[in-house]
Each structure stands twice: as C-alpha cells, then as structure tokens.
C-alpha cells in the first residue's frame, strides 16, 4: 500500500508503541504529555471527537451547540508527529499477544493504556434502562433537547389536564452535580421560554422533580453546599424529593418504593455510572463498579505493561481514598500526567505512586446560583457562579470552542434565551421488547 512521507516517518520511529484507548479527559491529557517524546502513540476512540462532559447538560437544554463542547481528535493530533488517531471501537485485549482486537482489526502495542471511562448505571433495571433518557454522550444530550421541545409542542395540543401534566412532568433521577445542573436549567426554561413562547400552556403545569435516595442533594459536597443547592433549586420551583427510591418506569408512569406513582413521559437518569471495560482482562475487573483494579502506578492488576487511568481505574491503595478516587475530570487529568511521567522515567529511576491533589468541587444551579467547596472555603451565590463559569470556560478544549461558549453564554445571560431550540433529529422512543425463551419477542405496551 502506498503511504505518505508523514506516515512512513511515524512507522520508522525507533520507539516503543503506546496505544491509548479512549480520548476523554485522561486519554487526551496523556497524548498531549507524550507528544514529542520517544514513543509512537496511537489514540483509539469510537468517536472522532473529545467530549467535554461537564457541559453536556447545556447542550441538552439548548444553551450550547454540540460542536461547542466537542473537539475533533484529528485537530489535536495533527501537529503531533509521533501521535496518530484511529477511529474505532476496541473489543478485546489479548494480553498474552500484546495486541488489541478492534472493529477494524488488530493493533499491537508495547504499552497499553485503557481510558474508556464510564457508562450510565441502571443497577440492573432493564425496563428503566430502556425507557429513561441518559446524559453521558452528545447524542444523548441531543435526544434530551429534542424530547423536551417535542413535549412542549405536544402539550400545546392537549386539552386533557392529566395528559398535559404527564408530558410536562420532568423527572430527574440522581441529585449529583449532573442532576442538579439539569434540574436548574429546566426550571429556568420554564420561567423564560415556556412562559413567554408557549403562552397557550399554563406555566405551572410544567413540573421538575429531582429525586435522590440520599438525604441531601450533592452527596459528595459539604453540608453547607448541599443546603444552599437545595434552597436554590426550590427557589427556582424544582421539587426536590429526597430519601426517595425510583423502582420502576414504563415510559408513562414512574413508581417509587413507597408505592406511590407519578405520571411522566420524560425521566432522565443521572443516578450513577459504571465502568466501560473491554473484554479480556476480567480477572482485574472489580465487578460492581466495573473498574480495573490498578496499583499505585496505575498498572492493571496482574499485568506488566497495561495501565488504566481515569474513571475506569480503581486504585484503593491511597488511604485517603480507600474506595478509589472520585470519578471526576481532575483525577483523570492528574493520573494521565502522572502516568506520562512514569512512562518517561521507565528506563531510569523507579516509578512514583500516584497522589491525587483534590481541586475542590463546584456545581451551578442557575443564573447567579452555584456552590463551591474549596478546602475550608465553602460558599454559594454569584461569586461561586462566576467562578464556575470561568473554570469551565478555561477547561474547554480548543480556542474556537471557548470563544463560541463565551458568546453563547453572554447572549443567554443577557437575553434570558436558550438559543439552540431546534428539533433537528426528533427523539423517537423505541418499543420495549422482552425476549421470549423460544427467541420470540413480546412487545410491551
């Protein structure tokens, strides 16, 4: 096969090959750290872009466009002569052969780094998994955007109050930062868009319910932040349902553990994640969180040249985090930087153990409303909100995206309007099918 001089130069590099699976926060940071260093790096991802997940909820609620929070890998690796990108899904690791099986064939490695992140965890409830919406990817965020706009448009036609309320009852399950931020954004949409542009619909008929099994929202934050967040949400008209367990959802009705039910055609599940492992390393997989057990150097248990970083890695060796590090972007980024340093150190000094430096936590609830936990400093309100805006703006990959996000935010916060309210790809809920033993399929209403 004919090849370009650039590809020939890459192939001719006399360096070991590092294959990085997943270009999220961890994978992307790692390739940046290995750029220009004595390694041939191959980045593999099933998507052709890096997704800035903390702002997915803004895509879901029409404040930002998909391209504002996504950055093409080829633009990142273009100027990196020792890094190439391949779009593809990794299916299996073959550790004894030092190679990977992908949907495009096999790829050999000297060092393998798994940074595949997480998927939504429905804790085994298949019916909820089928009916509820998720917020883990751009396509899911676009589904939510289409869905809430479709519900508004449908509600305009409905005369029956019960049916109208059912379509305008938005149930968000999970009171972590994603659920809180989504609930706040939907509440602002009710106050602005629904009120001014859907005048045929009584505003009060749209209800946002935020459900959590814990006794407080933002369970990993300080009690002060939890209290403030709840108050901010309630001020915006969100119904915060604590100590409440969702046990079922059939697309029309949500069921709770206490036997009560609620009509709703939109349930958004942000109640948990589990790792997205690939096949072939099952002995190192901690079953329930589906994360790879790693040592203090991020080496996958029982292997010598396979590493896991970011959300998929479970390092219980640091006494400060006996259940593993929190699954947040700063951990992923720091582990990537640390692994890069250890890989570069390999033939010289001994590798160093990973020590996470916590950066604090923040969540926004709406305009001028956010909470920040920063060491002993815990506060909420407009200053926290500006801090949240600044930190997120500066973390987005790509100068163009940063400018676009700033422009969208400036417009939104001056005009009170979410600009991207387009149903480009309508959301169509699929029928729920139960597999019968004989291979037949039963369609459930």
Ligand X SMILES: Cc1cc2nc3c(=O)[nH]c(=O)nc-3n(C[C@H](O)[C@H](O)[C@H](O)COP(=O)(O)OP(=O)(O)OC[C@H]3O[C@@H](n4cnc5c(N)ncnc54)[C@H](O)[C@@H]3O)c2cc1C
Residues forming contacts to ligand X in the complex (CB under 6 A) are 21-27, 44-47, 53-54, 56-57, 89-90, 115-118, 135-136, 177-178, 276, 278, 310-312, 327-330, 332
- Planar angle of CA 430, 436, 440, nearest 5 degrees: 75
DSSP 112-176: EEE---EEE--TT-HHHHHHSEE-SSHHHHHHHHHHHHHHHHHHHH---HHHHHHHHEEEEE--S
DSSP 371-397: EEEETTEEEESHHHHHHHHHHHHHHSS
Nearer to ligand X, 56 or 77 (CB): 56
Active-site residue identified among 89, 181, 197, 435: 181
Catalytic status, residue 181: yes
The least distance separating ligand X from the CB of residue 309, rounded to whole angstroms, comes to: 7
Furthest CA-CA distance within the chain: 74
The least distance separating ligand X from the CB of residue 196, rounded to whole angstroms, comes to: 28
Say whether 319 sits in a helix, a strand or coil: coil
Q: How do 306-308 and 111-114 pair as beta strands?
A: parallel
Nearer to ligand X, 272 or 381 (CB): 272
364 beta partners: 370
The least distance separating ligand X from the CB of residue 391, rounded to whole angstroms, comes to: 9
Say whether 362 sits in a helix, a strand or coil: strand
Nearer to ligand X, 23 or 289 (CB): 23
Q: What are phi and psi of 404, to 5 degrees?
A: -65, -45
CB 53 within 8 A of CB 136: yes
Between CA 361 and CA 323 the distance in angstroms is 18
**Nearest residue (beta carbon) to ligand X:** 24
Nearer to ligand X, 256 or 321 (CB): 321
The least distance separating ligand X from the CB of residue 308, rounded to whole angstroms, comes to: 9
The least distance separating ligand X from the CB of residue 52, rounded to whole angstroms, comes to: 8
Nearer to ligand X, 54 or 324 (CB): 54
> Which positions are annotated as active-site residues?
181
């Amino acid at each position: 096969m004919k090849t370009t001089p650039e590809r020939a130069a890459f192939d001719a590099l006399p360096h070991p090959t590092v294959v990085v699976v997943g270009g999220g926060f961890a994978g992307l940071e790692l390739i940046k750290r290995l750029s220009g260093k004595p390694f041939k790096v191959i980045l593999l991802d099933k998507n052709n872009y890096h997704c800035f997940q903390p702002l997915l909820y803004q895509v879901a609620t029409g404040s930002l466009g998909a391209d504002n929070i996504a950055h093409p890998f080829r633009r990142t690796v273009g100027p990196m002569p020792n890094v190439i990108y391949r779009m593809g899904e990794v299916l299996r690791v073959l550790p004894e052969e030092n190679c990977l099986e992908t949907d495009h064939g096999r790829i050999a490695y000297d060092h393998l780094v798994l940074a595949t992140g997480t998927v939504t965890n429905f804790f085994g409830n298949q019916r909820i998994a089928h009916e509820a919406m998720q917020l883990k990817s751009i396509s899911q965020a676009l589904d939510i955007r289409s869905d809430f706009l479709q519900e508004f448009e449908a509600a305009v036609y409905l005369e029956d109050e019960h049916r109208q309320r059912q379509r305008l009852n938005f149930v968000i399950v999970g009171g972590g930062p994603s659920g809180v931020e989504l609930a706040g954004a939907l509440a602002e949409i009710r106050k602005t868009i629904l009120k001014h542009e859907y005048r045929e619909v009584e505003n009060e008929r749209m209800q946002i319910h935020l459900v959590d099994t814990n006794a407080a929202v933002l369970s990993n934050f300080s009690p002060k932040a939890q209290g403030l967040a709840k108050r901010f949400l309630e001020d915006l008209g969100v119904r915060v349902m604590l100590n409440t367990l969702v046990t079922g959802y059939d697309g029309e009705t949500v069921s709770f553990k206490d036997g009560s039910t609620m009509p709703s055609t939109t349930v958004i599940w942000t109640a948990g994640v589990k790792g997205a492992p690939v096949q072939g390393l099952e002995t190192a997989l901690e079953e329930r969180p589906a994360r790879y057990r790693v040592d203090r150097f991020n080496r996958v248990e029982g292997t010598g040249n396979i590493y896991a970083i970011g959300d998929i890695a479970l390092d219980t060796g640091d006494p400060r985090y006996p259940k593993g590090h929190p699954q947040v972007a700063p951990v992923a980024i720091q582990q990537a930087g640390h692994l890069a340093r250890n890989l570069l150190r390999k033939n010289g000094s001994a590798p160093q153990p990973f020590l996470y430096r916590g950066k604090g936590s923040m969540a926004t609830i709406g305009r001028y409303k956010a909470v920040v936990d920063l060491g002993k400093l815990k506060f909420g309100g407009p200053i926290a909100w500006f801090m949240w805006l600044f930190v997120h703006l500066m973390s987005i990959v790509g100068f163009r995206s940063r400018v676009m996000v700033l422009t969208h935010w400036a417009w939104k916060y001056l005009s009170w309007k979410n600009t991207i309210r387009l149903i480009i790809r309508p959301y169509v809920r699929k029928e729920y099918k139960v597999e019968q033993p004989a291979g037949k399929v039963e369609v459930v209403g």
